[in-house]
Amino acid sequence: MPLSNHTTIQALQNALENGETTAVALTDAALERIHDPQGEGARTFLNVYDEAARTAARLSDELRASGQVRSPLEGIPVSLKDLFDVVGDRTRGASKVLDEAAPATENALLVQRLIDAGAILIGRTNMTEFAFSGLGINPHYGTPRAPWNRDVGHIPGGSSSGAGVSVADGMCTVAIGTDTGGSIRIPAAFCGLTGFKPTAERIPTQGVLPLAFSLDSSGPIGHSVTCCALTDSILSDEPMPDLEPIPYEHLRIAVPKDVVFNSLDTTVSQRINAAILALTNSGVQVERIEMPEFNQLAYINRNGGFVCAEAWALHRDLISEHQDLYDPRVAKRILIGKDQSAADYIDLLAEREHWIRAVEERLEAYDAFLMPTSPIIAPRIRDLEDEEQYFNHNALILRNPSIVNFLNGCAISLPCHPEGEAPVGLTLAAPGHHDAHLLQVAYTIEQLLRPIQV
């Protein structure tokens, strides 16, 4: 079985087990796609581990031949966002500022877990500079185009832009990204994939370049809920959750009335409403509920929130000396944090704690809440060259997914569009540490959404 644009981990493991393919063949196919001059590889990858990947693939095949399969990721090509330390390589956050950074002397813990699991690390992917945008545009290394309507050139979503495109184009089977305000789920939605943002503290941060440590999380983008759950179990070093489907009539899903359905474009509105109807017709209890706390977030984050405050703390020395090397749109957002006082930050901590308690109380009776991942389909890259359009679209696209990061929750974006049409993501989300149950809920609902995608 070749590595196709839609091959799941499970299908590849079956092919590997049955001798229909090898880890070397899968790796060669991935590398061929990356290096195809007609493809998006040059804009998607910042560094490709050609020889190291082939060496790891040969070892994987030898171990399998001897009866050793280390995990469900054995022999599976995986890409890494340019925020994760890999021994001997520079972690630059897709910036020019860190071009001269010292190579990493040890692997990020989650990278080591992938290696120990037998995953084939294929390379490190492009992203928004320092992960500070939901659009995926990078003026330094180029912007990979989303797979849909590629000749026109739509944004891939960010900040894990290369992660989404690497999976969508068959350059790997699963990608590891980070998510501070939607940076896994947005590219998953715009690239027609499944993206899982876990509860942040479940995944180790050692060796991961931060943006805002209060909100950052790391997780997978893949072709299915099972792909994400398998990968998450490796990253978290936790057992694989039970993905037996839940009877539809036992599911209770909340649909917030506040904020998250505002300003939907026609395509997103049609697809999300069709998905909700499919759930309702199958017996899922779908209830529209008041979530007034969602209306409070804009005011709570009026001074830039955690992301600007913490990004400024991390970048204040670098940006003071090398602001000319930054993407000016990224620098502009980082500099907002300069005006926050310690009192502002302390107030924000207290407000968040109160807000989380209030939201969790409203969601206590539900298995998950549902919303569009993005209220609009992916805009064209050229339409965002204007700075005002850039920031307006960025705020709108980040609006829904960032709610989950502030909640310190978990969320998954599922594709819910017909094949060949503009990708639309449907998000299921829950409070923190409900990850295993959320994945089971998502697995159940994934079965309902598949007919919509045909």
Instruction: Name the catalytic one among 60, 71, 79, 81.
Output: 81
Beta carbons of 192 and 184 less than 8 angstroms apart:
no
Active-site residue, 81 included? yes
Ranges of CATH 3.90.1300.10 domains, the chain: 9-236, 248-453
The pTM assigned to this predicted structure is 0.97
Question: What angle do the packed helices 328-336 and 305-322 form, to 10 degrees?
Answer: 120
Across-strand partners of 369? 254, 429
Active-site residue, 320 included? no
CA distance 210 to 287: 37
Kindly report the number of other CB atoms within 10 A of residue 185's CB atom: 34
Active-site residue, 183 included? yes
Instruction: Name the catalytic one among 183, 214, 218, 236.
Output: 183
Which CATH number is correct for 248-453, 3.20.20.100, 3.90.1300.10, 3.65.10.10, 3.40.50.1000? 3.90.1300.10
Q: Which fold has domain 9-236?
A: Amidase signature (AS) enzymes (3.90.1300)
CA distance 347 to 299: 12
Q: Which of 309, 290, 382 is nearest to 352 (CA)?
A: 309
Residue that is written with structure tokens 């759930």 in the block: 279
Instruction: Name the catalytic one among 159, 166, 374, 402.
Output: 159
CA distances in angstroms from 260 to 234, 288, 341, listed in the order given:
32, 12, 30
DSSP character at residue 417: S
Beta carbons of 158 and 134 less than 8 angstroms apart:
yes
Q: Which of 402, 426, 453, 413 is nearest to 188 (CA)?
A: 413
Alpha helices in 153-197 (DSSP H): 161-168, 185-190
Cβ neighbourhood burial of 68 (10 Å; 0-12, 13-18, 19+): exposed
Would you write out the chain's pLDDT as a tens digit for each of its 454 residues?
445 567 999 999 999 999 999 999 999 999 999 999 999 999 999 999 999 999 999 999 999 999 999 999 999 999 999 999 999 999 999 999 999 999 999 999 999 999 999 999 999 999 999 999 999 999 999 999 999 999 999 999 999 999 999 999 999 999 999 999 999 999 999 999 999 999 999 999 999 999 999 999 999 999 999 999 999 999 999 999 999 999 999 999 999 999 999 999 999 999 999 999 999 999 999 999 999 999 999 999 999 999 999 999 999 999 999 999 999 999 999 999 999 999 999 999 999 999 999 999 999 999 999 999 999 999 999 999 999 999 999 999 999 999 999 999 999 999 999 999 999 999 999 999 999 999 999 999 999 997 554 3
CA distance 266 to 271: 9
Give residue 228's pLDDT: 98
CA distance 324 to 319: 8
